[in-house]
Each structure stands twice: as structure tokens, then as C-alpha cells.
Amino acid sequence: MTFQEYLDYFEQILASPKDFSPYDNDEYLNYTKLNWSRMNRWLKRFEPTATVKNLIGSITEHQHWIVITEPWCGDAAHSVAQLYQMVKNNPNIDFDIQLRDTEPFLIEDYLTNGGKSIPKLIIRNDVGHDKVIWGPRPQALQAIFETMKAEGKSFEETKELMQKWYNEDKGEALQQELIAELS
């Protein structure tokens, strides 16, 4: 789906959560409401750096940027909006959202340590060759996540630390990683 279709889908879930599993579960729904607010905040406030704007603006070959995600994903609330803001003005880039939990289950080809972690960005050239695979979160945060998981930290504690990290980072790590991958 396009990014606008993803936003429309997200709004449909929030308007009629009983029609969309797992959003008929209050815990999922409450977290999804938070994600809607976070994503919209990034859409309003996130501005790619001049380096990223120039780099992405210089892409002249047709590319497909595929993001595997779901509205319930906390990491996606930050990264997907930032990625969209980076590429939205380049007509050579198709920005495509694929839902993780809906066929064709593209995530099966892009597992993280055997798991279906999202969001996942796949940048393909026009003939379908994967040029870049990124995700589910910036490397520094992924390391923190793995450490907290190994230490047996609670999901609530981990989630809170990760949200704070995203707010303090402001998309810098994601941009630096994309610069490194695309340069």
C-alpha cells in the first residue's frame, strides 16, 4: 500500500478496532493509539538533514523502498514516518508499505535473528535486486534492546527506554545508517 493508504488503514483501525484483530484487544489498541500520536508528531516535526536530502535527492535510478510494518509496532511509529519524510519528494522512489501479518508475508524472507521483527526496510533496484536491508531499529538501539532482553528486563521497562531513546535521537542514527548504506 502507499503511505497514504497506510495512514487510512491506521485511521480505520482506530475508528473501528473491533473490526481488526488484534486491535480488538485493549492493550494493542492503546499502544496503537500512542503509535498514531508518535507517528504524526514525526510527520510534523521531523526534517531530514541536508546530507540526507541531497543524497536521496540525487537518486536518479528507479528504486522500490518497501517497509514491512504494522500499526501496533512502537519502533515503526518513529522510523516509518521518518523514512517517508526522507523519500517523499523523490519521484524515482516508490515507497511501499507491506503489512507483516498479511499475505504475502514478505517478512519471512527478512527475519532478524529468526524473528519477524519490524519495521524492516528493503531498498530494491528496478530489476528487483535488494540493495539495502535495514531494521528493525537503528543499530545502537538494537544493541540496547538485545542487552535488556538478555538481562531479563521487563517489556514495559524496555519499551520505555526505547521510546526515550527515539525521542532523544530524533532520527539521527537512522539517517547516518542510511547514508552509510546508500553512499
Range of the domain at 30: 3-136
Q: Structural domain tally of the chain? A: 1
CATH number at residue 61: 3.40.30.10
pLDDT in tens, 115-138: 999 999 999 998 889 999 999 999
Please name every residue paired with 159 in a beta bridge, in sequence order, or none if there are none. Answer: none
HSE (side-chain half, CA atoms, 13 Å) at 34:
14
Per-residue pLDDT tens over the stretch 55-66 = 999 999 999 999
How far is C-alpha 31 from the geometric centre of its chain's CA atoms?
A: 15
Residue 168 lies in a domain: no
Burial of 134 (0-12, 13-18, 19+ CB in 10 A): buried
Percentage with pLDDT > 70 across the chain:
100
48 inside domain: yes
Instruction: Evaluate whether 170 touches 46 at the Cβ level (below 8 Å).
Output: yes
**Residue 105: CB partners within 8 Å, gap ≥ 6?**
none
User: Residues 30, 13: contact at Cβ < 8 Å?
Assistant: no
Q: List beta partners, residue 99.
A: 69
With respect to residue 131, please indicate whether it lies within any of the assigned structural domains: yes
Is pLDDT of 169 > 90? yes
In a domain, 65, yes or no: yes
The residue among 93 and 155 whose pLDDT is bigger is 93
